[in-house]
Amino acid sequence: MTGINFEWRPLIFQVGIGGGVKFPFTGKYWIGDNDTALNGGNVSARFKNPLIPYIRLYTGINLLVLSLSLYANFDISNMQIKDNLSSLGEGYKYPGKLFSIDIGVQFGIHLDIFQFGKNEREELIFI
């Protein structure tokens, strides 16, 4: 998963929006009582486009380097099952696309190595 976030931090709170792309390596799905596990090679063989674009909204608290936030990921429906897969039967066509919403809690540690937008230049004057 890779992406970019834009964040606003009033006092100890944080509110943000972000987005990016997920790269699925494994997965599992069910058809009736039968489940099928997928790994990297199976994912690209079964789906037309295995990349999943997403949008993330989050809010929480930020205490110096620690944060606790509640987030919601909205996966944009881009993945579609390939047509005519031998395991699904000849002539099988699935017109729909897969979509999901993930809701969760995230604990984070922030290391502000780069401070963008701040100009903190110290000058020494020797007399």
Tens-place pLDDT, residues 104-119: 999 988 777 766 665 5
Give the tens place of pLDDT for each residue, 44-95.
777 777 788 899 999 999 887 888 999 999 988 766 666 655 555 555 666 6
| pLDDT band (50, 70, 90) for residue 39 | confident
pLDDT-based confidence at 17, cuts 50/70/90? very high
Where are the domains positioned within the chain? 2-109
Of 46 and 4, which is predicted with more confidence? 4
Q: Where are the beta strands (DSSP E) in the chain?
A: 2-8, 13-22, 27-31, 34-38, 52-63, 66-75, 100-109
Give the C-alpha separation, 17 to 9, whole Å: 12
Residue recorded with tokens 């509110």: 15
